[in-house]
Amino acid sequence: MFRSLVTSLVLTGLPGATALTVAASVQNIEATPLVVALEDHYNSSSYRFINSLPDVGVNPRIDLYAGAEVHVLGDIPHSPDLRVIATVVQFSYRIVADKRKGIKTPADFRGKRIGVVPNVTSEYFAYRYMTDVAKLNSSEYTFVSSGSLCYAPPCGNGTYPYMLETGALDAFTAFEPTTTVGGMVLGGEEGNATFFREDSVYRKINVLYTTKAKLENTTTRAEIVGYLRALGKTHDVFTKQPEKIWPRVSNITARSQNVTANKATEDIMKTFWPLTKWSRTLPTDLVDLMAEEDKWVAMKEGKGRVPASRETIQGIIDEGPLKEAIALEEGASCED
């Protein structure tokens, strides 16, 4: 549960001992700065990036993992030494709905079929939106999880945008840019598309995490701190000059097997980019957000799983490596 099995993309630096191994699923836009950081700013010729998100500790050679906070919550029960050290991106979710189905307000989702990516942040956002904003219970709508992603039209049979366009779905929410594309196939907001967003209910926090043992290893910790510095430089480009990185982001995500072959165009990325916040800093409300979300994760996992306490979640957060990276950056700036 909560894991991608994609392994088609493996990037490596020059031959030799691997200095750092990073794992994430690059079908998601939010994982792309991890690749750019390795290729452009990481101060080492030796690295390895694996397009996958295995359970923490399954492969002891992996030094850093990156995924939405829901993945971390799935690992906590059997990986108490897991440590969240930085944010990759905060990403706002939206639901795109078909005006032809009479959906104009949150209450109009009653009786509707809503597409979601199952067991992950997409479904959680939809669940929270229906519960907290639309004020509906689970018997008053239907979640459909049989669709696939599409990053640019035309979207083929079985994708969420196609299902929305043909009326098989009344609305859906998925990883961007699929939701944006869903609006496009309906003619945009000037046509039959309408979007629903509520960041106070939920926003995706894609985090970078490792293990206590990795951080206690002097050599590995130094590499991790160096990588956090590389990520900071990458974030500057993603934030201040995104148009420079969009073609690369498109190429990276297109290598994934889980996405329709069409690449996201620069116009599409320009449309949804305001939904992103590229920063290494961990949100001040991260513990509260994860504690609330783990109630849902525990419910989905079943088998008597008890939600993690705030104290447990607080205990896996370690801002030390990021503070070290920032201190080194400030020291270098002073020397200049």
pLDDT number for residue 18: 54
| pTM attached to this predicted model | 0.92
Classify residue 3: in a domain, yes or no: no
HEC readout, the chain: CCCCCCCCCEEECCCCCCCCEEEECCCCHHHHHHHHHHHHHCCCCCCEEEECCCCCCCCCCCCEEEEEHHHHHHHHHHCCCEEEEEEEEEECCCEEEEHHHCCCCHHHHCCCEEEECCCCHHHHHHHHHHHHHCCCCHHHCEEECCCEECCCCCCCCCEHHHHHHCCCCCEEECCCCHHHHHHHHCCCCCCCEEEECCCCCCCEEEEEEEEHHHHHCHHHHHHHHHHHHHHHHHHHHHHHCHHHHHHHHHHHHHCCCCECCCCCCHHHHHHHHHHEECCCCCCCCHHHHHHHHHHHHHHHHCCCCCCCCHHHHHHCECCHHHHHHHHHHHHHHHHC
* pLDDT attached to residue 17: 53
* pLDDT (0 to 100) of residue 240: 98
How does pLDDT run across 66-82, given as a tens digit for each residue? 999 999 999 999 999 99
The closest alpha carbon to 54, from 70, 65, 69, belongs to 65
Mean local confidence (pLDDT), 248-259: 80
Average pLDDT score over the chain: 92
Note whether residue 1 is domain-resident.
no
Q: Give dist(CA 245, CA 163) in Å, integer.
A: 30
Candidate from 14-18, 46-50, 132-136 with smallest mean pLDDT = 14-18
pLDDT score of 5: 36
Q: 77 and 215 share a domain?
A: yes
* Band of residue 8 on the pLDDT scale cut at 50, 70, 90: very low
User: Can you name the residues that pair with 91 across neighbouring β-strands?
Assistant: 204, 276
* Residues 220 and 314 reside in one and the same domain: yes
Q: Are residues 17 and 132 in the same domain?
A: no
Give me the CATH number covering residue 21: 3.40.190.10
Domain end point (choices 196, 224, 259)? 196
Tell me, yes or no, whether 51 and 185 share the same domain.
Answer: no
Instruction: Kindly state whether residues 40 and 55 are assigned to the same domain.
Output: yes
Which of 8-12, 160-164, 229-233 has the weakest average pLDDT? 8-12
* Res. 334 pLDDT band, cuts 50 70 90: low
Question: Residue 46: pLDDT band by 50, 70, 90 thresholds?
Answer: confident
Place 43 in a pLDDT band, splitting at 50, 70 and 90: confident
Q: How many CA within 13 A on the CB side of residue 158? A: 5
- d(Cα 39, Cα 31) in Å, to the nearest integer? 14
Residue 278 in any domain: the answer is yes
Which tokens in the block code for residue 209?
């995490």
Tell me what the mean pLDDT of segment 51-79 comes to: 93
Q: Tell me what pLDDT residue 6 has.
A: 38
Confidence band (pLDDT; 50, 70, 90) for 269?
very high
Is 2 part of any domain?
A: no
Pair 228, 316 in one domain: yes
9: pLDDT strictly greater than 70: no
Q: Residue 116 domain-assigned?
A: yes
As for how many domains the chain has, the answer is 2
- 161 and 275 part of one domain: no
> Of 196, 216, 247, which residue constitutes the final position of a domain?
196
Domain shared by 280 and 330, yes or no = yes
- Which residues span the domain enclosing 289? 10-91+204-335
The least confident of 53-67, 86-100, 185-199, 200-214 is 53-67
Last residue of a domain, one of 139, 174, 196: 196
Query: Averaged over 206-210, what is the pLDDT?
Result: 98
Q: 285 pLDDT exceeds 90?
A: yes
Query: Does residue 5 fall inside a structural domain?
Result: no
Average pLDDT, integer, range 121-128: 98
Q: Residues 191, 132: one domain?
A: yes
Same domain, residue pair 259 and 328: yes
Flag whether 142 is in a domain: yes
Which pLDDT does position 62 carry in this prediction? 95
Are residues 62 and 188 located together in one domain of the fold? Answer: no
**4 is a domain residue:** no
Q: What is the pLDDT of residue 4?
A: 40
Same domain, 114 and 47: no
pLDDT in tens, 158-200: 999 999 999 999 999 999 999 999 999 999 999 999 999 999 9
Predicted pLDDT of residue 2 = 41
